[in-house]
Structure 1
């Protein structure tokens, strides 16, 4: 029998439509040393002194920033800080680092604004972005139709989820049949959960055993359960799964699925719907793509294969138009 537990805060009834994809915390983020050179050959700098790749202001992109947003000279960016190598705390357990932070820095540079970084929980960013407390979110947010009712997007990276298992596992995962009867850890209110629930529905309709979904209070608990054999699989953002496979000797990647399954989606900077900031961010990302700084950031974190060739602004209207074409 599938166990589904979705703890929702009091306000979640009004915000549940936006909780469909979460960044996942990595228990190894604070345990690692200042630098790490894992099996994939990427030299990860986990220290607070990042020497980030920076970019020059792009006047055309900066001119697109709405006056009300640019008035204070800052770009207020929210991130969850819990998913290595995307957004996590450095070895000082305080400084936020990662690919999401680096891309946000490039965007702020291109727009001629100071980066004002704010750490938040996954559950809080939707309402705080709607309220204007956050001007944009860089935290592995995937685009979907429900979110587009409340937010606009500027795409900047491919969106994949990865299945990880113990090194001794003899199976791979490419679809619903491969998780039948297995214990799978997943975050509540995430796109990962949405995919697994759909797969379970399909399995049960065909008379097959569904996956047993398991929920843990932290990623440290999740990875401990996986490595000790209490669960068979964990489904998490692909970059984090790849990082763990490269830096641990007991886990491996056994499957990959687009976060928008059964369709495809992308990771995007998220802004309040209709406030005009998305076009400015899109222009900034495209400027960073053109000058090469964008690719340098992704390669720095081992994410070069998730690069996009062009950033696009995505709205509810453009999604509806694409669906109808």
Structure 2
């Protein structure tokens, strides 16, 4: 049952309109790019020791880092959200190490959920994780099924019309290729004539389409965009040489570079190119939850638990010094301060 009133239903109609134009689907969808296998994979190993020094725990027994309840923050949780004692969080469980299924193929784990756990702890709420598809989280957040989304969601000008945000991580896309390659991807010229795999309807596709348009305007051969039906097929195509590059959320490319012997990162671009963006907890516009999450995140940053979570998953370089609340009202002014 929805936790919100029927007075919000017109916004759902607006959401449907935006979805039909692709405005909301163009984003940092972790599930639209290859994860290199969910959870641990095929081997069933509970941990993976990576070359970057991180030991990835992919088992259901996560032993998550926790934070202490902040009574003052707990008192600020909107009554309609806090009345059941839970923080209901949506995630896609589609991209290691961000959000994926553990070795039991059913328990959602990853850095996104660890950060959500810190927020829930600070607010004195039980973390209730709900796995959903990338396409469904916007509508279900609008309807009240989800109170927050922690799933590599990037802030953009279309989303702020319907949602409020609490930033918690830098947002980048990585280009990956076979280790034997000599690519160095910095801009449009570097993908000319190459075969590049990309998820349909994502921010990374938006970047590539813009780069191709730039190439064609200068009389150069555009990249050939390749689409695959599964993560496994995407990485198989790359490792076998059927594609030259794959573009995916940067944390996923870092994971593969450090746990596989055949792939490496050959480029990095802000997920909001040509502007900049951040990854953020996503809440229903105007319901008062985003500012409270922002405060909880800043408390976790201050006490060090936030840094420990990112280090646990090899994501320290994407840490933010401060969480900020981003809404439609202040979105334009936040762009200059986005992480570089």
Q: Same fold (TM over 0.5)?
A: yes
2:285 aligned with 1:273: yes
Pairwise CA distance, 1:39: 1.0
Q: Is the 8 A contact 1:155 1:312 kept in 2?
A: yes
User: What do the CA deviations read for 1:10-40 (whole angstroms, capped 9, x no partner)?
Assistant: x965423211220135233322411011111
Which residue of the partner structure matches residue 220 of structure 1?
232
Q: Call closer, same or farther: CA 1:226–1:54 in 2, change over 3 Å.
A: same
Stretches of structure 1 that go unaligned for 5 or more consecutive residues are 1-10
User: What do the CA deviations read for 1:92-115 (whole angstroms, capped 9, x no partner)?
Assistant: 111111100100000000011000
Q: Is the 8 A contact 1:64 1:279 kept in 2?
A: no
2:110 aligned with 1:103: no
Pairwise CA distance, 1:89: 0.5
Q: Which residue of the other structure, out of 3, 19, 23, is the alignment partner of 1:17?
A: 23
| Counterpart-to-counterpart distance in 1, 2:199 and 2:97 | 18
Q: Number of matched residues?
A: 315
| Counterpart-to-counterpart distance in 1, 2:321 and 2:334 | 19
Where in structure 2 are the equivalents of 1:1-325 lying within 5 Å? 13-15=17-19, 16-21=22-27, 22-24=29-31, 25-28=34-37, 29=39, 30-32=41-43, 33-322=45-334
Which is worse superposed, 13-22 or 43-52?
A: 13-22
| Counterpart-to-counterpart distance in 1, 2:186 and 2:336 | 28
Q: Is the 8 A contact 1:182 1:212 kept in 2?
A: yes
TM-score, normalisation: structure 2: 0.90
| Counterpart-to-counterpart distance in 2, 1:60 and 1:309 | 22
Q: Call closer, same or farther: CA 1:161–1:77 in 2, change over 3 Å.
A: same
Pairwise CA distance, 1:116: 0.5
Which residue of the partner structure matches residue 12 of structure 2?
none
Stretches of structure 2 that go unaligned for 5 or more consecutive residues are 1-14
| Counterpart-to-counterpart distance in 2, 1:136 and 1:187 | 24
Residue aligned with 1:118, SS: strand
| Counterpart-to-counterpart distance in 2, 1:299 and 1:322 | 26
Q: Is the 8 A contact 2:277 2:335 kept in 1?
A: no
Q: Is the 8 A contact 2:301 2:322 kept in 1?
A: yes
Residue aligned with 1:239, SS: helix
Pairwise CA distance, 1:321: 3.8
Q: Is the 8 A contact 1:140 1:268 kept in 2?
A: yes
Residue aligned with 1:105, SS: helix
